[in-house]
Amino acid sequence: MRLTAPPRSTSFFSLIALPATLGLLVIAYLIALSKRPNIPKSAQIEDPHQWGFPKWYGKSATPYDYSSATLGSDEKICEHPKTVLLFIDLPYDSPRIPSALNVLSTLQSSNRFNVSVISTFSPDWNSDLSIRQNLEVAGCESKDWIWRIGDYTESSDLGCDKALWIEEEMNKPGKANVSLLSQPHHLLRQDTTHGSLQTTNGDQWELGLLTAVLPAEHASLNEGLIYDSSPHVFYPSRRVTSRRSVLYLPSRSTSPKEYPRLPWGRTWSIYSPSRRSPPQIKQGEDPFSDKSAWKKFWLKEERRLASAIRDAGICLFEGWPRGQLDDRIVKAMLSGCIVATVPPQTHHDAFLPLFIPLARPASVALEPKLPVQDLTHVLSTYSNSQLQHLALKAFITARNRLVPASRLKSVENAVTIWEGGGRGYDFKDGFRWDCDSGHGGWCN
């Protein structure tokens, strides 16, 4: 009788038993994971601090995107696109160039429009001819619309009367059929009253439609594009390490010598916009082609700004006491940076809850001090979870209302009003102009 068992031969079964059991465990774990109840979406929107941001945040199209609501009948193949001549009447180094390029790419990507572009720095601009002649050479007489951005050339005799003129970024608005103002309360300025417009433009002039449209910025994804093939740069970071850090953003035109002194400590930092000028446009080079060094320069500047505001908790822009909703604020909202500002008058009730409200300084000095105490105090009234919620809410609103597609729609609506005989001042809902804006002149 043998008491010892014979040495077992290592069977095939025993070789795979352990890995197979492990594998089964992993599969069981994965099944358990997939059956785990999902975090309700509403909870993630109410409290991203606790539940994490919704999975589309900074990654993909959101359920709130403007375009997802309007893609459909509106965007069907358009057989007769409107022909538009975009006249970018700005110097080649104007800080307004990025928003003009936005208008261009928005028109290019919409199938309702067939756009061509001209500018004093285009290769086909002939400086021996008048501006009017240049526009004629560009075929303005056969266009449906001429969309002029800026009035750098200061010319008002532009001809091309068959087309409908749209203008924005004007020092002296009111000449075109449809004038787009950047702030609704500019409709009430001294220099846009009917009387003063008539003095500027002469007796033959007729009042068109003056209206205000919201600013807009291209939204973007981490790795991909939503609306069109133009470059997108503004999207939020899913992890902001220091939600209470404040980034102060001076304007491009402000000299570093005039930058305000930041309070001591690690929570404040300053963004220095590049001081470089864009490259000169070479002879014969098309500045508006994707390959142009000039266009790449602007894109690079925007990318640099985007990555700074994406990582900041709070954004404070130079000019915060003016309380104006502008494209810088939109960029911050799309990038998940909470904006601290005197609350804008524009769509006041809708937008007020999206900002950290600052008090208007008693006097708007040339160089107002940083609102350090005020901001620290207001911030102390917010919990971390409220701050994360605010960032998400502002992001959702921007994606819904402050993207180029929605802005283009507002412009088309204004044109429709004009075509229906609408003349005068278009006061939209949500419009208010009170002492808080600091512009009234009746408040002191």
Ligand X SMILES: *[C@@H]1O[C@H](CO)[C@@H](O)[C@H](O)[C@H]1NC(C)=O
Binding site for ligand X (CB under 6 A): 81, 83, 114, 161, 164-165, 177, 206
Q: Tell me which residue of 301, 306, 332 sits closest to 317, measured CA to CA.
A: 332
Indicate the residue among 311 and 426 with the shorter CB distance to ligand X.
426
| Helix residue ranges, H only, 97-250 | 97-109, 131-137, 194-201
Tokens 């203008």 belong to residue? 167
For residue 316, list its beta bridge partners. 248
Q: Are 167 and 103 in contact (CB under 8 A)?
A: no
Nearest approach, Cβ of residue 418 and ligand X (Å): 8
Nearest approach, Cβ of residue 160 and ligand X (Å): 9
- Classified as helix, coil or strand, 115 is strand
Nearest approach, Cβ of residue 144 and ligand X (Å): 8
Please report, in angstroms and rounded to a whole number, the separation of the first and last CA atoms in the chain.
114
Which residues neighbour 387 within 8 Å (Cβ) at sequence distance 6 or greater? Answer: 49, 243, 244, 313, 338
Rounded to whole angstroms, the Cα distance separating 185 from 157 reads: 28
Indicate the residue among 177 and 345 with the shorter CB distance to ligand X.
177
Rounded to whole angstroms, the Cα distance separating 411 from 392 reads: 28
Indicate the residue among 161 and 367 with the shorter CB distance to ligand X.
161
Indicate the residue among 157 and 206 with the shorter CB distance to ligand X.
206
Indicate the residue among 60 and 83 with the shorter CB distance to ligand X.
83
Indicate the residue among 83 and 385 with the shorter CB distance to ligand X.
83
Q: Tell me which residue of 99, 70, 107, 77 sits closest to 399, measured CA to CA.
A: 70
Nearest approach, Cβ of residue 134 and ligand X (Å): 17
Indicate the residue among 114 and 196 with the shorter CB distance to ligand X.
114
Rounded to whole angstroms, the Cα distance separating 437 from 162 reads: 39
Which residues neighbour 240 within 8 Å (Cβ) at sequence distance 6 or greater? Answer: 311, 312, 313, 336, 391
Tokens 């538009």 belong to residue? 84
Nearest approach, Cβ of residue 27 and ligand X (Å): 54
The set of long-range contacts for 276-279, using a CB threshold of 8 Å and a minimum separation of 24, is 277/93, 278/92, 278/93, 278/97
Nearest approach, Cβ of residue 49 and ligand X (Å): 48
Nearest approach, Cβ of residue 177 and ligand X (Å): 4
Nearest approach, Cβ of residue 151 and ligand X (Å): 16
Indicate the residue among 82 and 409 with the shorter CB distance to ligand X.
82
